[in-house]
Structure 1
Amino acid sequence: MNTPSLMSALAAHCSEAAAPSQGGSAAVQRAKECVLDLVALAIGGSRTEVGRLALRSKLSRSFQVDSDSTGCSILGERARLSPSDAAGLNGLLGHALQCDDGMRRAHGHPGIAVIPAALASAEASAASGRRFLSGIIGGYEVFARVGAAINPEHLSQGFHPSGTVGAIAAAAAATLVLDDGAVKALENAMALAGSVSGGLMEYSHYGDMSSYFVGGNAARIGVDAAFLAREGMAGPLTILEGKYGMAAAMANGALRHAEIASPDPHGPKILQTYTKLFSSCRHTHGAIEAALSLRKAIHSVDEVETVRVEVYRIAADECDRPVVTSLPGAESSLQLTVAAALVHGDLSLAERSYTRYRDERVRALAQRVVVVHDPTLDEALPESRPARVLVTTPSEGTMKAEVDLPRGEPERPLSWGELTAKAWTACSDVLDRDQFVRLEDAVASLETATSLRQLADAATPCRQPGANEYH
């Protein structure tokens, strides 16, 4: 396969998936579900510690667009910014609650890059709701194909796919919105974004806030790349497979051409997206579900002698964290999340706080949780993400539970009612119930919306921010 054809094939599949006649109602419906999920999470994320910090960094008078009628929306706030700044900030806010969507074969989170980029581009160009949805479907297609082509090697090299692959996907989404999939602009935007994409997994060892920044940065890069390509800037079309391309530089040479170039008989890749129920690293979710099922049979959690958590290699590498000093760290720790699930019997978004992990009973039990890499579980990837939990007590002996795929995966999807319940939980501290109903209605009617004004208005709280919040 010659060099330009690989990028051409990626652009072709992206455009085909995004076309209304090809996407089909299932893809459009899934796109709307992803939009509701991400928008609600970003609105809620605006009130988190990292969200407030990020808002203060941008919403000073030197950055804001002066008029409420210009610029692009910040989800959960009344301020407006330039397209790239708005996309970057919304992407960060969407990841702040650690509950955004993902793709297991691509090993990353497409929503935090793709949706903010599509939203900013749609507002900047007064695009319709249908074009906005098409951009999202196309962006997810790119994320899935490139992510599967270079992972897990890319991840094992220490790169954060949400930032690297996410930037290319965001560029695709923004270009589809701005230029309706013009092939030359699409190819060059993706190539430009790939050239400057980045993000490292070092946060996984420290539990710091940099992970939130990665997805937002991908959204910002994607928007900038789309506008530059629109003006005629060219990028290296060999960015994936070239001598100094992503595969060579970031994935130890791994690049599965078929993942990018081959048709998928199952339809648009957005249908492969999972939705989270728990605000923690996805690699902990199988073990959390297993622990919650075992808790029903445990007479007293205080009597638990040992907990053994058996997982696949990537989960062990990223989430075997017996010692944490922050909420992000706790939410990426198998020891803390499993212990909290056993103690509290609930790890829902509604009760998200560092307090539930600092609970003395949780801390004590976490010290008795052992994480073990079971090589036999690696064989199940990527078709499943298995986890096995064994709990031993004096009265019940050793009890075992295993989960192959956690809830929210395409094979175990959430209903629209479950999705809206999660969305309301995520943003109920910011929006009142009437506002949330308007938000839900705006998302549901995106196919026929002539602009995104209704969605933007519904995602804007009624109150003005305090005078000193951003200074």
Structure 2
Amino acid sequence: MYTSEKLANLLSMLDSVPASASEAARRSILDTVSAAVAGLVTPGGKAGREAAIDIWGQGPVPIWLTSARTSVTGAAFANSVAASILDLDDGHRAAAGHPGASIIPAVLAAVHENPALEARAPAAIAIGYEVGIRIAASRDLRRLDTVNSGRWCGQAVAAAVGWLKGLPPRVLAEAISIAGMVAPQMPVAEFTQVGNHVKEAIPHATANGFMSLSLAERGFAGPLDIFDDPRHFSAEALLSGFGESWLIETAYFKPYSCCRWIHAPIDGLVKIMADQKLSFQDISRIRVETFGKGVHTLNNQKAPKTLEAAQFSTPFCLGVTASRGPEALLPMTDPGLLKDHAALLIASLVEVVLDKEMDSYFSAAVPARISVSCGDTVFTETVMAPLGEPTNPMDWDMLFQKFHRLAYHQMRPGAMVDMQNALEQMRAGHLAPLLAELGHFQENCSAVFRPEMRKTKNL
């Protein structure tokens, strides 16, 4: 029996997940919705939902907080774009990637299409995380180019939605295999020097998961031996202990709108400036010692030309933090940041270097040591676990604060209260009110796209 078939059999034997995994899924729903609220009004978010309707046509499933309706695949794609576009979505150390922005829009789209599946949604989300993270973690993250989430989150979607719908093991195995074979391809450089909306191709992989599942349901055969080449995958890592503990419980959350690898130096800079009562004018030099991918994979441009490129620049994000405070990174949507003289000045003073000790912790951790020079005085802070890691968690209250921060400028006050109430009910285990709020336009986001306005309004 192939590994994909063994995995599918394990999935099919699951009737539910533990309460702790369901609660973790609800935390991730809150975080994903928060990220999407901010991402909806970005240029990439707007383009994603317009294209979803062009590609998949009209349908019954809402694109969140808009009047647009499209197919289940189109809605999952568009909502995934909104959730991932600002790099505010959750992640997991074992995968070095982002499951929530793919799996949660997919599962909620499937429930919007068939409300009878609502009760199974949190478990389906937890199962999607388990499959996707295990697939990513069964590869050698140091030897293989595997940190791009689009390589594996489509397989997670196929598993989550397939289990949600109660599909048989054979279909699950074929769908997971198909999704893996046609996963979005990434450039060897991983992060290019040009800011773009594709990034890790998370929305594209989300659509791939739905397409692969539909193909498998109709008898399309996949490469069932996809996980059986030991040069690329460890079958033991993929299958061992499946269902004994749940990886979704150890997901991390982001307080800043930038690559997770930059969060440790940001936390260190914030602490140094607060402890020493520094302003950006006091800083003469910043040195960041971190792991290899944080040095060589990120673009680290000191003067990025786009906000997308800025999300992957340690010097620029530190410049923004020093000059405007970390609040400017939640979210990083102001184009004026790119011309902020103070931020650019501090960015020009930043040096990012490899530290062998820090590198030895990757990918289980993403640490950094930051040294801030003020003339001849140097202040140093080492951050092993940035805010949001399981060992330095953001609790429910902090996640709701993140929602408030992101929704404040996007939603009318009454609509924000309604969404808050729906999210609180979701936290208590009732998903239907949240689905209803996500499907509303007239009472929600104040500046979102209406399909009927495309020909009359310049977006």
TM-score by length of 1: 0.87
What are structure 1's unaligned runs of at least 5 residues? 248-252
Instruction: Name 1:388's counterpart in structure 2.
Output: 369
1:223 matched to 2:210:
yes
**Cα shift readout 1:2-54 (whole Å, capped 9, x = no counterpart):** xx3421333345456x632xx21111011011112112322321101211222
Instruction: Name 1:100's counterpart in structure 2.
Output: 89
Tell me how far apart the structure 2 counterparts of residues 382 and 14 of structure 1 sit (CA, whole Å). Answer: 27
Tell me how far apart the structure 2 counterparts of residues 376 and 26 of structure 1 sit (CA, whole Å). Answer: 34
The answer to whether the 8 Å contact 2:61/2:75 transfers is yes
How far 1:269 sits from its partner (Å)? 1.2
Structure 2 residue identity aligned to 1:417: D
Instruction: Name 2:141's counterpart in structure 1.
Output: 152
The range that moved more, 279-288 or 321-330, is 321-330
Instruction: Name 1:250's counterpart in structure 2.
Output: none
Instruction: Name 1:302's counterpart in structure 2.
Output: 281
Instruction: Name 1:316's counterpart in structure 2.
Output: 295
Question: Among 291, 315, 319, which residue is 2:269 paired with?
Answer: 291
How far 1:453 sits from its partner (Å)? 5.1
Instruction: Name 1:402's counterpart in structure 2.
Output: 382
How far 1:143 sits from its partner (Å)? 1.1
Structure 1 residue identity aligned to 2:99: P
Question: Among 211, 216, 238, which residue is 2:198 paired with?
Answer: 211
Question: Among 379, 391, 414, which residue is 2:394 paired with?
Answer: 414
Distance 1:453 1:323, change over 3 A: same
1:330 matched to 2:291:
no
1:10 matched to 2:7:
yes
How far 1:374 sits from its partner (Å)? 0.6
Distance 1:191 1:128, change over 3 A: same
Counterparts in 2 of 1:225-264, with a 5 A limit?
225-242=212-229, 253-263=231-241
1:196 matched to 2:182:
yes
Instruction: Name 1:116's counterpart in structure 2.
Output: 105
Structure 1 residue identity aligned to 2:396: W
Other structure's SS at 2:326 match = coil
Question: Among 366, 380, 383, which residue is 2:347 paired with?
Answer: 366
Structure 2 residue identity aligned to 1:43: V
How far 1:299 sits from its partner (Å)? 3.6
TM-score by length of 2: 0.89
Distance 1:203 1:382, change over 3 A: closer
Question: Among 360, 383, 398, which residue is 1:379 paired with?
Answer: 360
Distance 1:29 1:207, change over 3 A: farther
Distance 1:12 1:339, change over 3 A: farther
How far 1:272 sits from its partner (Å)? 1.9
How far 1:368 sits from its partner (Å)? 1.1
The answer to whether the 8 Å contact 2:280/2:323 transfers is yes
Tell me how far apart the structure 2 counterparts of residues 38 and 277 of structure 1 sit (CA, whole Å). Answer: 13
Instruction: Name 1:27's counterpart in structure 2.
Output: 21
Structure 2 residue identity aligned to 1:6: T
How far 1:376 sits from its partner (Å)? 1.5
How far 1:213 sits from its partner (Å)? 7.1
How far 1:209 sits from its partner (Å)? 1.9
Structure 2 residue identity aligned to 1:19: D
Instruction: Name 1:39's counterpart in structure 2.
Output: 33
Tell me how far apart the structure 2 counterparts of residues 383 and 400 of structure 1 sit (CA, whole Å). Answer: 23
Tell me how far apart the structure 1 counterparts of residues 339 and 10 of structure 2 sit (CA, whole Å). Answer: 47
Structure 1 residue identity aligned to 2:15: A
Tell me how far apart the structure 1 counterparts of residues 383 and 42 of structure 2 sit (CA, whole Å). Answer: 31
The answer to whether the 8 Å contact 1:121/1:223 transfers is no
What are structure 2's unaligned runs of at least 5 residues? 444-448
How far 1:174 sits from its partner (Å)? 1.3
The answer to whether the 8 Å contact 1:289/1:406 transfers is yes
- Matched pairs, number: 446
Distance 1:10 1:206, change over 3 A: same
How far 1:259 sits from its partner (Å)? 1.7
Distance 1:265 1:71, change over 3 A: closer
The range that moved more, 378-387 or 165-174, is 378-387
Distance 1:447 1:129, change over 3 A: farther
Tell me how far apart the structure 1 counterparts of residues 454 and 348 of structure 2 sit (CA, whole Å). Answer: 39
Tell me how far apart the structure 2 counterparts of residues 447 and 341 of structure 1 sit (CA, whole Å). Answer: 32
Question: Among 319, 334, 352, which residue is 1:339 paired with?
Answer: 319
Distance 1:258 1:413, change over 3 A: same
How far 1:239 sits from its partner (Å)? 1.4
Structure 2 residue identity aligned to 1:73: P
Percent sequence identity over aligned pairs: 24
How far 1:203 sits from its partner (Å)? 6.2
Tell me how far apart the structure 2 counterparts of residues 360 and 329 of structure 1 sit (CA, whole Å). Answer: 17
